Structure 1
Amino acid sequence: MAIEATFTATEGEFPLAAVFGDFPGTQIELDRVVPTDGAIIPYFWIEDADIATIDMSNVAHPGIHDIRVIDTVHGNAFIRIDWDFEYESILTAILETEVELISAIGTQANWTFDIRAEEQEAISQFHTYCKEHEIPVELTQLHALSPLRSGHEYDLTDAQREILTLAYTRGYYDSPRQLPQQALADELGITRQAVAARLKRGTRRLIASTLIALDE
C-alpha cells in the first residue's frame, strides 16, 4: 500500500537556510532533484528575490558547491544548486532510501517535505536514516493513499455532481468568488434557486460521505 508522509525541519538545520540571510521574508520551493555522479543538483524557485544578489558570495555552506540563477518568471527566480553528495542532509536521505520527494517548501521558520513510498517500511527507513545521520526532522503526517472516487461513490445525483463540478471549474469556490450562482444557473438553464439547492445538497452529501465517514 502506497504511503505519503510529511516531515518538517528547522531552517537552521537545512543548508538552504543560508539563502534566507538575504531573503528573510521569502519562500523557497523545490522544483526537482537531479542526481548525478557525486552530486545532487536541486532546482528551486525563490519568490520575489533580487536575482543580482543570488550567488555564492552570499551563500557559504559546506553542502553547497555552487548556486546560480537559471531564469526569472514574474519576479520569481529559478535557481540551480550544485549540492555536495557527501554532505548529509534530508536530500541525501531521500536519495539513499526508497522514497520519492513530492514537494519541499521552505520559509525562514521551517521546511516542509512531502514524500511517498510504496511501503510504510520505506518511510521508516528514511526516518531512521535521518536519525542515524543526525538530520533532525519531525514526522507530522502519515497516511495511506486513497483511490479516486466517482461522484456515484459519494452518493451524489448526476445533477449534484454536475453543479459541483461546474461551480468548482468556473471559480465559484475561489476567494474572492469568480462566478455568482446566477451565472451558473444561466449556463445550465435552470433557476438560481435550483442551483442553490443542488449546491447545498451536494455539499452535504460530500461531507457525509468523506469527513463524517472518515471520523466514524
Structure 2
Amino acid sequence: MSVILEFTIRSDQFTLGHILSEAGDMHFELERIVPTGGHIMPFVWVSTEGDPNEDLPRFEENIRESNLDLELLALDRVDDGGLYRIEWKSQTQGLINGLGESEATVLEAFGDGSWTFRVRFTDHDKLTDFHNYLTDRDITIHIIRTYTFAEEGVRRRDFGLTNEQREALVLALQRGYFNTPSEVTLDELAEELGITKQAISDRIRRGNEKMLRPLLLSSAAR
C-alpha cells in the first residue's frame, strides 16, 4: 500500500534549496522530479515580488555560478516568474537523489528559507529506504505526518487544503477579494495575516488549484 510523507527541511540541509535561497527574496515551487539515465531533473517554478526582468536573470546567474555540477534551462515565463529545469550532470548525494533512489513521487514541494514536501512512496519499504538514506548522510528532516493512500482519499474529500490555505481563502472570500471589482488587495490581506504578499498569493493560488483540479478534471474525463 502506498504511503505519503509530509515533511519540512531547512535549506542548509537541502543542497538545491540552499542554492535557490541565495537568489534573494524569491519563492520556489518544485513541480516534479524526473529520474532519467541515472540523473535527476527537478522542475522549479520561481516567482518574485520584485521586477522579474531583474530578479530572474540574477537568479539564473546565481545558479550557473554555483559550485554545483548542474545545467539550468529556462522553459516558460509568466507575469511574476518562470519555470526552469535543473539537470544534475553528475550523481549527487543530497535529498533529491534520495527521493529518486526510493522512487518517490513528489506531490508538492515549495519554500525559500525552508522547504515543505509532500511525497508518495509505493510502500512502507520504500519509505524506510528513504529514511535510511537520510540517516546515513546526516540529512535532517522534520516529519509532519505520514498516512496511507486510503487516508489520502478522505483528505481529498476536504480538497487537501492546508490550514494556511483554508485560512487565506476564507479571508479572501470574507473581504470580497473575488468580487468584481475586488474589494480588497493582496497587500491588505497579507497585512491582516501578517505574511508577505507573495505568501498570500501562493496560498490562494494553490488552494484554488487543489479545489478545482478534482472538480474540473474528473468531470472532463467522463
Structures share a fold, TM > 0.5?
Answer: yes
SS in 1 for 2:26: coil
Name 2:144's counterpart in structure 1. 140
- Aligned residues of 1:54 and 1:67 also touching (Cα < 8 A): no
- Aligned residues of 1:40 and 1:85 also touching (Cα < 8 A): no
Superposed displacement of residue 119, structure 1: 2.1
Q: 1:175 aligns with which of 153, 172, 177?
A: 172
Superposed displacement of residue 128, structure 1: 0.9
Name 1:68's counterpart in structure 2. 73
Q: 2:112 aligns with which of 107, 113, 117?
A: 107
Name 2:60's counterpart in structure 1. 55
**Deviation string for 1:65-108 (max 9, x for gaps)?**
12232221121211111124421111111111143221211211
Name 2:20's counterpart in structure 1. 19
Q: Relative to structure 2, which stretch is displaced further, 136-145 or 39-48? A: 136-145
TM superposition score normalised by structure 1: 0.62
Aligned length: 156
**Distance of 1:28 and 1:13 partners within structure 2:** 16
Does residue 118 of structure 2 align to residue 121 of structure 1? no
**Deviation string for 1:12-40 (max 9, x for gaps)?**
122221222222x3210011222222421
SS in 2 for 1:27: strand
- Structure 1 residues without counterparts, runs of 5 or longer: 150-171, 181-216
Superposed displacement of residue 147, structure 1: 6.7
Amino acid at match of 1:114: R
Name 1:9's counterpart in structure 2. 9
Identity of aligned pairs, percent?
A: 21
**Distance of 1:85 and 1:15 partners within structure 2:** 14
Name 1:93's counterpart in structure 2. 98
SS in 2 for 1:87: coil
TM superposition score normalised by structure 2: 0.60
Name 1:131's counterpart in structure 2. 135
**Distance of 1:51 and 1:45 partners within structure 2:** 11
**Residues 1:61 and 1:134: Cα distance change in structure 2 (over 3 Å):** farther
